[in-house]
Structure 1
């Protein structure tokens, strides 16, 4: 066997080893695009949604995006839409808290979707708080969201606090749950809430103006960071 043949065989062996190593190399991790949770109302599922912004750059407080209502007997209600396009405008700690809250109830929320056969749903974090002494009763099934000329009642309820199902409060006590509504609720349009025929005191148009301002600021902060 001559020298030229040996060199050819050596080159072929080296090429074989390189190909084998390349085949065994790990596949790079897929880049996360920040797509919204599947089934959430009105979300396109990609980053082309003009209302979609990166998380971690917001400064809003939960009260800045909440619907508030004060029906009779000293009962106070706060309802926050858990829509990614809105809660990403919250401060990092608030956003993380609400995201982890949803994640902790993922199994229950998937079960709700299976029961109701919903293509999309609107999840609201609703808290009931009692001011007056004695016992204050509340009925989450009567918490109605008005939007687009329609009234939406909860399709299902996922309790968050022990004793929520008793539907009564002691003074200064808070009971909370995730209320799941039809995904046709459009948060870009006026939204109202009512309980016992008492409308919410929050002007949603003011909330939308606040949201739009913060959305522009978040884009600016994210661009500067990049």
Structure 2
């Protein structure tokens, strides 16, 4: 029974993905298609073993998400917007997340200028309420533990109206881009906690999934070139 309940709870995120695609605009891009030139170019070292071409991934957003449930009524999902990860997503999800960052680039640049760190780790974080009535949340309490450190958000860019009220009605979603110190390395073990409750995601399984998909993406891209 509990297993079924857990499956039902996380399935509630599906409308959020659709909402993100609608905000980004455009129709789904078929696997193997080129990402539209309207997206800002991102340079990469093609000798980097983690670097892959865009447009060949098949993963879902949930496949690379870090999830936690600090209470029975609140669920949190965080997706790292690292290019080498999001290129493994299906083309429509990849495009939506890229456009999400591009559309908020001016606000993100202001955060970079305020903090003056060499680099940053940006996460797309959503808070979802299950219970009736009002559920409160504090994004500053969403802490990521990695490389022996606890990383707290340096700043955030709200994405949904009313995010700054830090409260949810039943089945409401509030989302933001949370910005962390770039020393956070998502290629290493990662856990999250909120209100002292640890994440329910096994990040080692996420990394295994990512490695498998990287190999498949290279294979698909190679087949197209031939």
Task: Name the TM tier (shorter chain).
Answer: 0.7 to 0.9
Deviations 1:169-213 (A, max 9, x none): 000000000000000011111000110000100000000000000
Deviations 1:93-133 (A, max 9, x none): 00000000001100000000000002100000000000000
CA distance in 2, matches of 1:35, 1:220: 22
* Structure 1 equivalent of residue 63 of structure 2: 64
CA distance in 1, matches of 2:55, 2:115: 33
Using the size of structure 1 for normalisation, the TM-score is 0.80
CA distance in 1, matches of 2:98, 2:42: 14
* Structure 2 equivalent of residue 138 of structure 1: 137
Deviations 1:28-85 (A, max 9, x none): xxxxxx644xxxxxxxx42222101011000000000000000114100000000000
Q: Which runs of 5+ in 2 are unaligned?
A: 1-40
* Structure 1 equivalent of residue 87 of structure 2: 88
CA distance in 2, matches of 1:131, 1:48: 45
* Structure 2 equivalent of residue 127 of structure 1: 126
* Structure 2 equivalent of residue 195 of structure 1: 194
Alignment of 1:157-172 (within 5 A): 157-172=156-171
Helix, strand or coil: the match of 2:70? coil
Contact residue 121 and residue 184 of structure 1 kept, 8 A: yes
CA distance in 1, matches of 2:48, 2:161: 38
CA distance in 2, matches of 1:110, 1:120: 11
* Structure 2 equivalent of residue 182 of structure 1: 181
Of residues 72-81 and 88-97 in structure 1, the stretch that sits farther from structure 2 once superposed is 72-81
Q: How many residues align?
A: 185
Helix, strand or coil: the match of 1:48? coil
Which one has a bigger Cα radius of gyration? 1
Q: Which runs of 5+ in 1 are unaligned?
A: 1-33, 37-44
Contact residue 147 and residue 190 of structure 1 kept, 8 A: yes
Contact residue 61 and residue 91 of structure 1 kept, 8 A: yes
CA distance in 2, matches of 1:201, 1:219: 30
Using the size of structure 2 for normalisation, the TM-score is 0.80
* Structure 2 equivalent of residue 112 of structure 1: 111
CA distance in 1, matches of 2:136, 2:202: 26
CA distance in 1, matches of 2:167, 2:92: 30
**Using a 3 Å threshold, how does the CA distance of structure 1 residues 105 and 96 change in structure 2: closer, same or farther?**
same
Moved over 4 A (4+): none
RMSD: 0.9
